[in-house]
Amino acid sequence: MTQMLRTPDAGHVKRTRPISFTFNKRQYWGFEGDTLASALIANNVRVIRRSFKFHRPRGIVGAWSEEPNAIVEIGANNTRVPNLRATQIELYQGLVAHSVTPSKWLRFDTLAISNVFSGLLPAGFYYKTFMWPKSFWHRYEKRIRRLAGLGYAPSGQDIDTYDKMHYFCDVLVVGGGPSGLIAALTVARSGGRVLLVDDQSEIGGSLLSKTETISGKLAKYWLKDVITELRSYPDVRLLKRATATGYYDHNFVVINERLTDHLEHHNERLRRERLWRVRAKEVILATGAIERPIVFCSNDIPGVMLASAIRIYLLRYGVLAGSKVAFFTNNDSVYHTALSLVESGGEVVGIVDIRKNPKSTIVERARSTGIPIYDDHVVVAARGGFNGLKKVQLARANSQGDLILTNKGELKCDTLGVSGGWNPVVHLHAQSGGRPEYDQSAGMFVPGKSVQSERSVGAAKGHIALRECFVDGVEAGKSAALGADLKLGQIPDIPFTIAESSEALKPMWEVPPSQLNLHNDKSFVDLQNDTTASDLRLAVREGYTAIEHVKRYTALGFGTDQGKLGNINGAGIVAKYLGVDISELGTTRFRPNYTPVTFGAISGRSIGGYLFDPVRKSPIHEWHVMAGAAFENVGQWKRPWYYPRDSETMDDSVKRECLAVRGGVGALDASTLGKIEIRGPDASTLLNRLYTNSWSKLPVGRCRYGLMLGEDGMVMDDGVTARIGDNHYLMTTTTGGAGPVLTWMERWLQTEWPDLKVYLTSVTDQWAVVSLAGPDSRRLMANLYPDLDFSEEVFPFMSVVSASYVGVPSRIFRISFSGELGYEINVPANYGYSLWSTIMKFGESLNITPYGTETMHILRAEKGYIIVGQDTDGSVTPHDLGMDWIVSKNKDFIGKRSLFREDMKRDNRKQFVGLETDDPLLILPEGAQLTNEQNRSIPVDMVGHVTSSYMSVELNRSIALALVKGGIKRHGGKVYAHLIDGRIVPATIRSPNFYDPKNKRQEA
């Protein structure tokens, strides 16, 4: 139970709830409320892993998402989560974690040999070296990945579920620190709908590690009061463990809420993560600021960390970062931390301050407690061994901070807290369209002008002092409330905070080189990717002048930390080498996500299984299921594909179904086809304008096949349309075309022809449709509708009649897609199931056979009937299909003019034909490429492709439909299909109408 660096009573961890956990196969103890990082520090675990490129030992640097070093992996197999930051993992009983590191041996890394030869591994190394031969890149890449030691993705099915939430609010507040909370309170009191999100497990932000009093009391009391009041409003919602990860258009913000990662046991009833998609009228960004380190030699030695992290570990988690702590700073903030350390029994061996004789109150207080203060000094190098920091070397620099004057001895310490200033978290502001600006006096990038309805407050704006945070928050709350059209309520008072005199920071990105520097010394700018200051210098020498190029050349800011600690220093250093001001150089672009988001959260419930995409079912669906049908997806619809009996294969079933239709009678569920009611005095006019053929003279009670083109002359959809009355048509479309065709027609009516008096209404779901086909279909129909006259004179091919079956209204069409005598019975959908059952019963004596889409495809292919979208692809005209007969010469219609374009007259356009392979048993694969010659020396001219291909049981051979250049004039000619397995298959071009070319059977 020894946690040597745990203080007796500081921090918020629950000391009555000890937790045991395992790290790199060793067991340790921590407390509830710890993160993995704070518990490791408490146990004096200094080295967490080795870095990617140079394999140098690395320790914990930060306390939250800015952490670049402590990359670990938890879980195994399908619960494995790689590349997590130990600083963001909430400790739970039984947690098992290991470092993500290339080598098994943390102590002695054979791969650290790369450290010795690191002079040969500068920036751009991979880019320059592993480029030749190109084909070898895959081999290089595998090795590099293993050397780099990146984690492995989980294997197997995710045991967790995730979902989404859609939310609207008047004001979204990102960040639950002092400024965010008081802003939220202001809006809440004005009656607004408020969503406040904070990415930590406790709301409070910087207040969780502050010693300052608010209105004379500890911060935690103010915190409690505010949160209690906020929770009392029904329209205020507070989310913990929720990261605002992306800011998009029109104040749309995506928030990733983590719900169960901190729990010990998996609960399958709980969602692991929830993605909130939020539209806010106004946004307040209280995202705080991240401390910026200073770059110096060997600043990556375990023990060198952010000064603010030391404070957080002490005041929040009750952990001393080390036994002998020193600080290196250019501003006041570390002094508070140093004093707190001393109060908690820690030892502070010295504070190195680059400023000369700072006079702030806090500095005086630190001096008075006896802490050695080395003002006007810099740290030129950190020195230590495998176990981490042992000492730092000091020096004095000139007033500009770019030249070392004299060396000034050393300071023995095992921990160094570094503070080079603060970087406001401007990421969301930048994502919203804003451009951060550089504030020269404060030495930081702050938010620029807002492009959307957002504003930043507190440290996110560069205001570090607590009082400023409160003032900002109230002002922002007021402006946001007014922006959301709310009436201001009782404005919160600015709480009383003690003001102390402070001294400004003195900016320094990098400590200049000194004589003490060794040949092999490195100053790290990006700790995760091992990008050094000399890498940046090299990039500039090689001619890179834009920060985006430098980033990609040196990998600066690439890691899971996205450069939160390195990017601004990097920009400052590059600007210095380029001789420009950092404000000119700018920063790299900020993009979502702020921290990594699992794919699970992004998918939500739209994953495999039954919720991936909406499923549409015919009213007769359950009958097909009970009959054992196999289904295929046609768009969102489930359609019976074939009905296997006993132990039939698909080929067996389809063969049986085809024979049954052509020899007797079959039944197909055609309910999924699109149906549109078209009504009004201008109905015929509309059809004339949209179809290629004429409609005005179609008699009532007759149907006609229609072809619809896009304005570019290409076939878009087809279907049979029936004239139900003088001003009343029922149009059918393909299953997939129903929606698009209705939208297409409405678009023309609304945007181009608003004067036409015609209304369109979709009735696809209103009617169930049973399609009967086969020579026995008429007999079956006569049994069902004994009062109906089925003679040729009264009920000819391509006509429609209304009838009723036992009081059930029906519309019966005599049409055929199979080439056999056929009827389609339309009944209101609620009767669909029973109609089908009745037909099955009636048809027993005729051996009626239900058939699916596969059989339907074969039967129509034998007739050469196209399926739009299969035999056409948006580049096929009526002429290409051999359908000149359907193109009216006497009227204008959508697409007509395009048919006369120069390109449409080409003889070698791809044209619709049938194919018969030399080998009657060989079925060509759909999509097979066709050539005119058998030889295969590249380049080969492609003359077409196979669009549909089946085994025809009726013709006892394989048939195919294809698009072939100039095919219409090439009947009898040969083409060759090229298969993926290398075979070249000869086939003869012919008419696509393989069966009953005179259509005698369907018109019987």
Partner 1 sequence: MLQIECPWCGPRDQSEFSCGGEAHISRPLEPDALDDIEWADYLFFRKNPCGRHYEQWCHIFGCRRWFNAIRDTVTYKFIAYYEMGANPPELD
Partner 2 sequence: MTNNNIYIQSSLAEFVVPREALGIDGSCGVEMQEITEKVQFNLRCDMSMLARSSNHAEPFFGSIAELSSNRFSVHADYECYWLGPDERLLVARRDKSNLITQACSRLHLLHHALTDLSDAQTIIQLSGEEAQTILMHGSMFDFHQQSFTTEMCAQTLLAGVPTLISCHTDTKLGLLFYRLYIRRSYADYLSLWLIDAASEVGFRIVLNES
Residue with the two structure tokens 């709980």 = 270
* CB of residue 896 to partner 1, shortest distance in Å: 7
Residue with the two structure tokens 């401007």 = 426
CA 537 to chain centre: 36
* CB of residue 738 to partner 2, shortest distance in Å: 11
165 contact choice in partner 1, partner 2, none (CB below 5 to 8 Å, kind-dependent):
partner 2
Among 542, 712, 873, 1003, binds partner 1 (CB under 8 A): 712
Distance in angstroms (rounded) separating the CA atoms of residues 454 and 518: 49
* CB of residue 247 to partner 2, shortest distance in Å: 16
**Cβ atoms 215, 257 nearer than 8 A:** no
Binding to partner 2 (CB under 8 A): which residues in 616-645? 616-619, 621-622, 637
**Cβ atoms 710, 717 nearer than 8 A:** no
Strands, sheet with 715-725, edge to edge from the N-terminal-most edge strand: 703-709, 715-725, 728-733, 674-679, 759-762
**Strands, E, within 833-938: which ranges?**
849-850, 910-917, 929-931
Contact letters (x/-) for partner 1, 278-307, by CB under 8 A?
-x----------------------------
Dump the DSSP string for 876-903.
--TTTTT-GGGS-SSS--TTTGGGGSGG
Among 16, 368, 515, 751, binds partner 1 (CB under 8 A): 751
Dihedral sign of CA atoms 588, 593, 598, 603 in order = negative
Q: How buried is residue 617: exposed, middle or buried, by Cβ count under 10 Å (0-12/13-18/19+)?
A: middle
648 contact choice in partner 2, partner 1, none (CB below 5 to 8 Å, kind-dependent):
none
Binding to partner 1 (CB under 8 A): which residues in 442-461? 451
Interface with partner 1, residue 750, by CB under 8 A: yes
Q: Are strands 71-74 and 81-85 parallel, antiparallel or unpaired?
A: antiparallel
Binding piece for partner 2, criterion CB under 8 A, among 428-436, 771-779, 801-809, 928-936: 801-809
Distance in angstroms (rounded) separating the CA atoms of residues 376 and 353: 6
Among 29, 126, 130, 252, binds partner 1 (CB under 8 A): 252
Interface with partner 2, residue 422, by CB under 8 A: no
830 contact choice in partner 2, partner 1, none (CB below 5 to 8 Å, kind-dependent):
partner 2
Which C-beta is closer to partner 1: that of 407 or that of 898? 898
Interface with partner 1, residue 613, by CB under 8 A: no
Instruction: Characterise 819 by phi-psi region: left (phi > 0), alpha (psi -120 to 50), beta (else).
Output: left
Distance in angstroms (rounded) separating the CA atoms of residues 96 and 22: 5
Among 217, 757, 936, 969, binds partner 2 (CB under 8 A): 757
Interface with partner 2, residue 681, by CB under 8 A: yes
Interface with partner 1, residue 250, by CB under 8 A: yes
Q: What does the block give as tokens for 410?
A: 């050393």
Which C-beta is closer to partner 1: that of 10 or that of 280? 280
Among 896, 923, 925, 974, binds partner 1 (CB under 8 A): 896
CA gyration radius, the chain: 38
> By rule CB under 8 A, what count of residues binds partner 2?
51
Which C-beta is closer to partner 2: that of 661 or that of 683? 683
* CB of residue 248 to partner 2, shortest distance in Å: 12
Among 231, 747, 936, 969, binds partner 1 (CB under 8 A): 747
Which C-beta is closer to partner 1: that of 141 or that of 711? 711
* CB of residue 279 to partner 2, shortest distance in Å: 7
Interface with partner 1, residue 746, by CB under 8 A: yes
Residue with the two structure tokens 């963001």 = 88
Distance in angstroms (rounded) separating the CA atoms of residues 39 and 133: 48
Pick from 873, 879, 938, 931: nearest CA to 905: 879
Q: How far is CA 955 from CA 753, 923, 950, in A?
A: 49, 13, 11
* CB of residue 618 to partner 2, shortest distance in Å: 7
Residues near 737 by Cβ (< 8 Å), separated by ≥ 6?
674, 716, 717, 719, 868, 869
Distance in angstroms (rounded) separating the CA atoms of residues 771 and 992: 24
Q: How buried is residue 575: exposed, middle or buried, by Cβ count under 10 Å (0-12/13-18/19+)?
A: buried
Distance in angstroms (rounded) separating the CA atoms of residues 663 and 665: 7
Among 117, 132, 599, 610, binds partner 2 (CB under 8 A): 610
Interface with partner 2, residue 754, by CB under 8 A: no
711 contact choice in partner 1, partner 2, none (CB below 5 to 8 Å, kind-dependent):
partner 1
Among 549, 679, 779, 957, binds partner 2 (CB under 8 A): 679
Among 264, 343, 752, 792, binds partner 1 (CB under 8 A): 752
Distance in angstroms (rounded) separating the CA atoms of residues 111 and 101: 11
Interface with partner 2, residue 834, by CB under 8 A: yes
Binding piece for partner 2, criterion CB under 8 A, among 24-32, 195-203, 208-216, 760-768: 760-768
> What is the residue type of 163?
D
Distance in angstroms (rounded) separating the CA atoms of residues 873 and 714: 9
Give 974's strand partners: 988
Q: What number of CA atoms fall less than 13 Å from residue 203's CA on the CB side? A: 29
Interface with partner 1, residue 754, by CB under 8 A: yes
* CB of residue 677 to partner 1, shortest distance in Å: 15
Binding to partner 2 (CB under 8 A): which residues in 804-823? 805-808
Interface with partner 1, residue 167, by CB under 8 A: no
Residues that bind partner 2 (CB under 8 A): 163-168, 193, 269-271, 277, 279, 605-606, 610-611, 613-619, 621-622, 637, 672, 677, 679-681, 757, 759, 761, 763-767, 805-808, 828-831, 833-835, 838
Site residues for partner 1 per CB under 8 A: 248-252, 277, 279, 433, 451, 711-712, 743, 746-747, 750-752, 754, 892, 896-898, 901-902
